[in-house]
Structure 1
Amino acid sequence: MIPEGNVQSNVDRFSGFEDDYDRYRPAAPQQVAEILTAYLGTRPRLVADLGCGTGLSTFLWANQAERVIGIEPNDDMHGKAVKKLSHDHADASGTVSFRAGYSNQLDLESGSADLVTCSQSFHWMEPVSTLLEASRVLTEGGIFACYDCDWPPTFNWTLEEAYNRLIDKADAILAKLVDEGRRAKKWSKEGHLRQIRESGRFRFTKEIVFHNKEACDAERFVGLALSQGGLQSVLKTGSTALDADIQAFTSQAEQYFAGRTLDILFSYRMRLGVK
């Protein structure tokens, strides 16, 4: 049984597409470590990365912290992270580890973590209990930070519009196929900073905006869309309602990229609190 406050459909949302998620989603950019280490004022002794998924946000800290623990409730995502650690990042095994767990019930000692991070994940967590638990495990002066990139990335307005249309249609189809009580519950990202402030656990709060360029071709841009949970949720029902739309979107992306690999801009919003 999952801890009170968690939503099973939120955990299940990410089952079955861990490989595509890991292949196409952006890894946490270097700016995350630079910003948080500067605010902390020292090299982190322990980073707890909540909702770490396949480890895209966890491995960032392999050479930038004494220890980092990625915590993930979804078995498929957690398994992918563990596999990557043993096969692709064996040199980080002394620093990085992964655990199955939930954001509001952490198997960590009080006052043990310098940083608690949530990359692309805080909106899937019950915020009040998660912030209370983050505050418990943070050291005095430790930092809670949740950060998300804007979807879609920035490079061409016609393809961005097509991306938005595809995602919106997926959400509309999902609303018809799955009863509200069985759909994932998502908290507004725009409310993150307010939630951190209203928790009363942090002496300083702030929203920070930064950007990162990454290489992208047609396959990756389409993969970014297909890695979105709403679209995957439709596909997992067995529905073919999106097949023609996905094909049209793929053709448009292939026509634009024309075999090229281009730099595209991912814009990030970090909301943080200093305990």
Structure 2
Amino acid sequence: MTGMTVPHHVKVGPITIGNDLPFVLISGPCQIESRDHALFMADALARIAGQAGVPFIFKSSFDKANRTSVSGQRGVGIDAGLAILAEVKATLGCPVLTDVHDAGQVEAAAQAVDILQIPAFLCRQTDLLLAAGRTGAVINVKKGQFMAPWDMAAVAQKVASTGNDRILLTERGASFGYNTLVSDMRALPVMGETGYPVTFDATHSVQQPGGLGSASGGQREFAPVLARSAVAAGVAAIFAEAHQDPDNAPSDGPVMLPLDWVAPMLAKLKAIDAVVKG
């Protein structure tokens, strides 16, 4: 990335993540719907990524605490969810990522998964960042829609102050008026100047928060376009949620990729990545 410091590499299981290394795919359904669904999606995505030659990390959330409406489905809960994620990891051997929402969740989550993700709206919550950092797990912090990219250096420093430098920073768009996000690709090299690996969240970046009234809308057709732009900027990973039937998913359906979109997208991203980092 232009103007970036010497890149810092983060090891997670068999995968090494870095801004100067081939990109990694972080993907899975928005929330854990059931054990069988999580295992099905993890296996399907692992096969697609493996055939494309792209390192793969499975992502799914045991709780979606930030819903537009109180009627929104939140997931299976922490106990059932962590057991399912641990089974995915043991069965498929791929690293696993999930969200945490308060300091009381981090110890249990870190025992089950490889990467603890700090949701965008919580990215400045000092106690949560410190508690997550102290687990020694990889910490992926999503940049809040309200945050400037250069302000993420201070966020990363909170985690690093615990002695844990296994940090990823994720761009997921910035608020633009009402119910709209916009992706500023300048944010990627700016956050890259920290040296920490930068991830681009292609699916949440096309979300329309609250756009459906009681739920968020989105324009999933633009997610592959933004993913290509981000890879051209030199990111370490692409975060893209996927589902076999996104239109009937309990959360974030309008932005999740259908499974049959993933392989063609990865083929194009690999070609761009090879040019940029070659």
In the superposition, the TM-score normalised over structure 1's length comes to 0.35
The structure richer in helix per residue is: 1
